[in-house]
């Protein structure tokens, strides 16, 4: 066979392959001069907040989403199916190699995306399981269908994700008769653990497979921080069992308790022993907000399951109670430099308020009963170099909230047989002094939860908190975990 014949056959074969490739992937732009303009790339947000996710403040590096490009309703006309797009942790997503999606030459398309990416997806249904809670990122199901009517000239598309499950957070402390909550285990008993997410509609259905779900527990001063992501649904009369080496504490959820899609519920819990047995004390007015924070209801539960429920999660009359301000001074971990003065510290949780100390003596520490839990240290007065210490927080955005309530934890530095009444500290809100309840500290290892009723404070757009010590602070005091809640 001559050279010209061979060239002719080779050319024909190449053309045939090209035609077949275009048929299999006809959404891809084959036009000249396309450059990178036709490649679909995405930024992301969750509930309108750029580059954030529930299990932390940022996406993790190599987090992956599944992306569908389509035309028409649902996923009946899919142009690109379940393509893997990854981020370096900044919330910007791009594909690689065969996973790249290219816009068609003409016309507009819509995108549907979900997290976490599943390679072996069955059709357009995502299986969901919350049975294992050790890695919350792996079960934090997100869904986006807002990116519609886009074309190759649209630029980078934004995928606005919403959470499809519910999150419950418990802050658990030791109360009367309980030495500590070290080694705590928390289980949600006999709750559904599997469901299916229809990626065409974003609908979660088919809740089944009831099991005991063990929540994720992390040490956080002055106790334990307990997290669980659960299927939305009715949790009336479901039980939550807290297990310590010394015994178990059972909390029965009130009637009409529901955990809803895209909601987060938070409860402050104290485990205690009384004459009626082991109890779970849950504090807070029952409310629901979007996946930001939900203070919990009030209930006391005996060891045998007897219950005296207060309001469960749900809106209260006259508005919804919600977190206004939470400050943990950066949480925990070693500080660099060590023990910085308030004026020199930059690791605040809240960057939009002003922190100051008129005495120049208070500092941020990472010492205490729970290792490396950040706290504000108010040194004891000596009449010369230290006459007092303070923490002033200016510009808290209260947004006109009413029924304000302040909670925080205190720890003293008493030693030996000495004691101190924690009420020696002065607390002010918007210039008005509020009394700290008389609380006798007998050692330097016990954190005391303090609650201050600020409901008499006039509603305002912003608020100012002040913690002040003077000559009556004879041993040194610590403050941590400041939280202000109110009704809007």
Mean pLDDT score of the chain, rounded to an integer?
82
What is residue 129's predicted lDDT score, i.e. its pLDDT?
97
Cα 361–Cα 479–Cα 171 angle in degrees, nearest 5: 155
In this predicted structure, which of 145-154, 310-319, 375-384 has the lowest mean pLDDT? 310-319
Same CATH topology for 166-316 and 326-487: the answer is: no
Cα dist from 160 to 91, 114, 156, 300, whole Å? 11, 10, 13, 40
- Reported confidence tier of residue 18, pLDDT bands at 50, 70, 90: very low
Cα dist from 468 to 112, 207, 325, 358, whole Å? 53, 52, 19, 10
In this predicted structure, which of 38-42, 145-149, 453-457 has the lowest mean pLDDT? 38-42
Burial label for 246, CB within 10 Å (0-12, 13-18, 19+), is: middle
In this predicted structure, which of 95-109, 120-134, 270-284 has the lowest mean pLDDT? 270-284
pLDDT at 450 over 70: yes
Which residues are CB-neighbours of 477 under 8 A, at least 6 positions away?
Answer: 377, 378, 410, 411, 412, 413, 420, 422, 424, 425, 469
Dist. CA 414–CA 342, nearest whole Å: 23
- Reported confidence tier of residue 290, pLDDT bands at 50, 70, 90: low
- Mean of pLDDT values over 70-98: 90
pLDDT tens column, 207-254: 999 999 999 999 988 899 999 999 999 998 899 999 999 889 998 888
What is residue 440's predicted lDDT score, i.e. its pLDDT?
92
Share of the chain above pLDDT 70, in %: 80
Q: Which CATH number fits domain 166-316: 3.30.70.1560, 3.40.30.10, 3.40.50.1260, 2.60.40.2630?
A: 2.60.40.2630
What is residue 319's predicted lDDT score, i.e. its pLDDT?
61
Dist. CA 255–CA 25, nearest whole Å: 54
Architecture of the 42-163 domain: Sandwich (2.60)
What is residue 288's predicted lDDT score, i.e. its pLDDT?
41
Query: Taking the domains of the chain in order of start, what are their residue ranges?
Result: 42-163, 166-316, 326-487
What CATH number does the domain located at 326-487 have?
2.60.120.260
pLDDT at 448 over 50: yes
- Mean of pLDDT values over 443-457: 88
pTM: 0.59
- 7 touches 13 (CB < 8 A): no
Dist. CA 389–CA 253, nearest whole Å: 43
What is residue 283's predicted lDDT score, i.e. its pLDDT?
57
Query: 181 versus 59: which is more confidently predicted?
Result: 181
pLDDT tens column, 131-151: 999 999 899 999 999 999 999
455: left (phi over 0), alpha (psi -120 to 50) or beta: alpha
Dist. CA 438–CA 71, nearest whole Å: 67
């Amino acid at each position: 066979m001559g050279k010209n014949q061979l060239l002719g056959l080779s050319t024909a074969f190449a053309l045939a392959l090209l035609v077949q490739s275009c048929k299999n992937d006809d959404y891809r732009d084959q036009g000249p001069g396309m450059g990178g303009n036709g490649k679909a790339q995405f930024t992301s947000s969750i509930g309108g907040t750029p580059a954030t996710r529930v299990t932390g403040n940022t996406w993790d590096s190599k987090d992956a989403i599944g992306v569908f490009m389509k035309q028409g309703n649902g996923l009946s006309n899919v142009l690109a199916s379940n393509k893997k797009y990854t981020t370096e942790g900044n919330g910007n997503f791009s594909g690689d190699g065969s996973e790249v999606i290219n816009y068609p030459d003409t016309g507009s398309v819509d995108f549907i995306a979900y997290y976490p990416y599943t390679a072996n997806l069955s059709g357009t249904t995502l299986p969901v399981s919350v049975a294992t809670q050790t890695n919350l990122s792996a079960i934090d199901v997100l869904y986006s269908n807002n990116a519609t009517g886009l074309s190759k000239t649209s630029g980078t598309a934004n995928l606005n994700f919403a959470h499809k499950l519910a999150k419950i957070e418990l802050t658990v402390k030791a109360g009367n008769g309980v030495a500590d909550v070290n080694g705590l285990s928390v289980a949600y008993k006999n709750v559904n653990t599997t469901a299916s997410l229809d990626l065409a509609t974003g609908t979660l259905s088919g809740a089944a497979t009831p099991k005991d779900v063990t929540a994720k527990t992390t040490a956080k001063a002055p106790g334990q921080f307990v997290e669980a992501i659960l299927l939305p649904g009715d949790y009336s009369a479901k039980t939550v069992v807290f297990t310590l080496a010394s015994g178990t504490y059972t909390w029965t959820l009130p009637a009409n308790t529901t955990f809803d899609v895209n909601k987060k519920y938070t409860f402050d819990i104290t485990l205690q022993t009384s004459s009626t047995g082991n109890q779970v004390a849950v504090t807070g007015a029952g409310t629901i907000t979007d996946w930001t924070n939900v203070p919990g209801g009030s209930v006391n539960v005996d060891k045998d399951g007897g219950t005296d429920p207060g309001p469960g999660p749900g809106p209260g009359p006259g508005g919804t109670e919600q977190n206004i301000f939470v400050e943990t001074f950066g949480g925990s971990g070693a500080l660099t430099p060590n023990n910085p003065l308030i004026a020199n510290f930059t690791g605040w949780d809240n960057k939009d308020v002003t922190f100051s100390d008129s005495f120049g003596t208070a500092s941020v520490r990472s010492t205490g009963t729970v290792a490396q839990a950040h706290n504000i240290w108010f040194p004891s007065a000596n009449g010369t170099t230290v006459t007092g210490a303070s923490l002033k927080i200016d510009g808290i955005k209260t947004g006109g909230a009413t029924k304000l309530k302040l909670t925080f934890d205190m720890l003293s530095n008493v030693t030996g047989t000495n004691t101190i009444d924690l009420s020696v500290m002065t607390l002010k809100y918007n210039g008005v002094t509020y009394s700290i309840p008389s609380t006798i500290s007998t050692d330097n290892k016990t954190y005391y939860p303090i609650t201050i009723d600020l409901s008499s404070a006039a509603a305002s757009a912003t608020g100012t908190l002040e913690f002040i010590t003077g000559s009556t602070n004879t041993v040194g005091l610590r403050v941590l975990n400041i939280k202000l809640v109110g009704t809007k």
